[in-house]
Amino acid sequence: MPENTLTITDNRTNKTYTVPVENGTIRAMDLRQIKTGSDDFGLMTYDPAFMNTASCKSAITYIDGDKGILRYRGYPIEVLAERCTFLEVAYLLMFGELPTEKELKSWVYDITHHTMLHETTKKFMEGFRYSAHPMSMFVSTIAALSSVYPDAKLVHSPVDRTHQIVRLIGKVPSIAAMSYRHNVGFPYVYPDNDLSYTENFMNMLWKMVEPKYVANPAIARALDILFILHADHEQNCSTNAMRSVSSSQADPYLSVASAASALAGPLHGGANEEVLKMLDEIGSKDHVPAYIERVKRGEFRLMGFGHRVYKNHDPRAKIIKRVADEVFDVTGKNPLIDIAVELERIALQDDYFVTRKLYPNVDFYSGIIYEAMKFPMDIFPVLFAIGRTPGWLAQWQEMLLDKEQRIARPRQIYFGPSKRDYVPIEKRS
Ligand SMILES: CC(C)(COP(=O)(O)OP(=O)(O)OC[C@H]1O[C@@H](n2cnc3c(N)ncnc32)[C@H](O)[C@@H]1OP(=O)(O)O)[C@@H](O)C(=O)NCCC(=O)NCCS
């Protein structure tokens, strides 16, 4: 029997099959040959929520959840967060290599010169209700860009694809900032091409009447690092949405809008907001032990703790904790940090959390930083979306170039009624 194969005996028929094992997986389609008779469709796998199914081969992001490792294109997240800018990391995700100085200069130039929105897009945004949620505005406006750039349909043209990638990375901060300004009732601010990507985002968020916005460098760097930490996380819910929607060859604006919609849910992009609510509810360090006891009694979960993949530590959480200190040097300390640190200290010594491998995740500290920067909670998922946009686009491009990929179309197990007779409405009881 060749190595790297799996032998399966079907006890229904006593037949034996051998299927190849490659990269620790078997191909689900290899199971289709396993049948009880000629009218049997063939064996399928049942995997709600993709708990044990690889949906693609990818060379973008590597995660080892047991060891707490996250790498983009082979580079550890710790190094990228320390040494790179967000646009450098975006380039790495997109093209597979870190850029040379010349490549970076031209990449930054191109993105900077695509930050402006068409004036009709600005008018479109002005039409939202005064209290519109920034994430709803963000998602809808990204989708609306599909109407502004009909060339985006040419998904098989490398030149057009690159054009849309540059446009999207350039425009997401502008849309995010406008959705924030709309929500707080301030006039929109146009991009300033003299500034870096993140400084310009801050300009569009916070410029008031001063002739030229000057960004605090520590805050700009902290935001840039937060974008890097969120830039990709392999096949998470929103990336899966991106791949699934764009597998129909929908244009990237519609696909990114779908991915951002998936991100909007509280189980994905909204957990850091829940952490803030939890810390507010705890109120002071002295209340932490009693709160932890309630968690252990199963009354509720400790928000920002635990992860489906990371079972040792979330490497992003460590970096964020350091960034928090740098931000507080500028903004003053967010009083919630003391409660968070105490919560982490007690939980990490407690058997309940240790045996279940529950550690702080990326959301545990990010909300505290955003709040210290004076962001309202509503905009947290929009900030996440700015960071994740290059990741979505890199995954989109990789999917389009993967010859094995086709339109995403899972199977189902039908559980409804079998064939029945139609009953006219007057005879229905
Ligand atoms: C992230 C999360 C959804 C992962 O869930 P999961 O991998 O499916 O883990 P499970 O829900 O199977 O939990 C395993 C065990 O740990 C416990 N657990 C998981 N997360 C917990 C938390 N945050 N607080 C307390 N207990 C927790 C569960 O109760 C379960 O205990 P049991 O075996 O006694 O029943 C989960 O840890 C969670 O809800 N965390 C809080 C929300 C959060 O921070 N989300 C952001 C993720 S980046």
For ligand 1, atom 43: residue with the closest CA:
304
Known catalytic membership, residue 268? yes
Say if ligand 1 is within 6 A of residue 295 CB: yes
Say if ligand 1 is within 6 A of residue 304 CB: yes
Tokens linked to 376: 């309202």
Q: Is 22 helix (H, G, I), strand (E, B) or coil?
A: strand
Say if ligand 1 is within 6 A of residue 73 CB: no
State the distance from the centre of ligand 1 to the C-alpha of 63, rounded, in angstroms: 19
DSSP tag of 352: H
Q: At what angle do helices 380-401 and 134-148 cross, to 10 degrees?
A: 40
For ligand 1, atom 14: residue with the closest CA:
356
User: 54 CB contacts (<8 Å, ≥6 apart)?
Assistant: 23, 25, 235
State the distance from the centre of ligand 1 to the C-alpha of 301, rounded, in angstroms: 7
- Report the side by side order of strands in the sheet with 69-72: 61-64, 69-72, 75-76
pTM assigned to the model: 0.93
Name the phi and psi angles at 240, rounded to 5: -65, -40
> Which residue is catalytic, options 118, 133, 268, 313?
268
Task: Per residue of the chain (429 residues), give pLDDT as tens.
Answer: 778 999 999 999 999 999 999 999 999 999 999 999 999 999 999 999 999 999 999 999 999 999 999 999 999 999 999 999 999 999 999 999 999 999 999 999 999 999 999 999 999 999 999 999 999 999 999 999 999 999 999 999 999 999 999 999 999 999 999 999 999 999 999 999 999 999 999 999 999 999 999 999 999 999 999 999 999 999 999 999 999 999 999 999 999 999 999 999 888 887 888 899 999 999 999 999 999 999 999 999 999 898 888 888 899 988 998 999 999 999 998 889 999 999 999 999 999 999 999 999 888 889 899 999 999 988 999 999 999 999 999 999 999 999 999 999 999 999 999 999 999 999 999
Q: Which of 358, 359, 363 is the pocket-test mutation for ligand 1 (most atoms within 8 Å of CB)?
A: 358
C-alpha distances in angstroms, 349 versus 298, 307, 309, 337, 356? 18, 18, 21, 19, 12
User: 79 CB contacts (<8 Å, ≥6 apart)?
Assistant: none
Tokens linked to 360: 């702080």
